[in-house]
Amino acid sequence: MQKNKEKFINKQNSITIQVKGETMADDDKRYSKQIIGKTVVSKTGKKFGEVGNINFESRTGELIQIILKNPTGFIEGLDLEKDNQGNLMIPFSAVMAIGDFVVVAEEDII
């Protein structure tokens, strides 16, 4: 199964996030500030923590990683990359959906 790239539009220092390449009306787009603080869960319902920040490549706009805050025990057993401050990072390619929660595919982060 091929995954589509995520896209962003920079509007007045905000990032608009489009998940999995779906065509979205302007009302359906998510701004990064709306995602920060959302709970990150696996598609099986395991709570991993909260979105603390989002890393992206400023030159290309590619979304790279979600930086977790308040990680739970479910995520600590996984071998995830850490930033300079020791925060766990989930690859953005693992994000399946963004709504009330940020849903990630656990098999894509292992």
Q: Which of the pair, 94 or 21, is modelled with greater confidence?
A: 94
What is the separation, in whole angstroms, between the first and last Cα of the chain?
A: 17
CA dist list (Å): 15 to 82, 85, 96 = 23, 23, 18
Domains of the chain: 7-108 (2.30.30.240)
Tens digits of per-residue pLDDT, 3-57? 444 444 444 445 555 555 544 455 555 567 788 999 999 999 999 999 999 998 8
At 90 the pLDDT is: 93
Examine the pLDDT at 107 and tell me if it is beyond 70. yes
pLDDT band at 78 (very low <50, low <70, confident <90, very high): confident
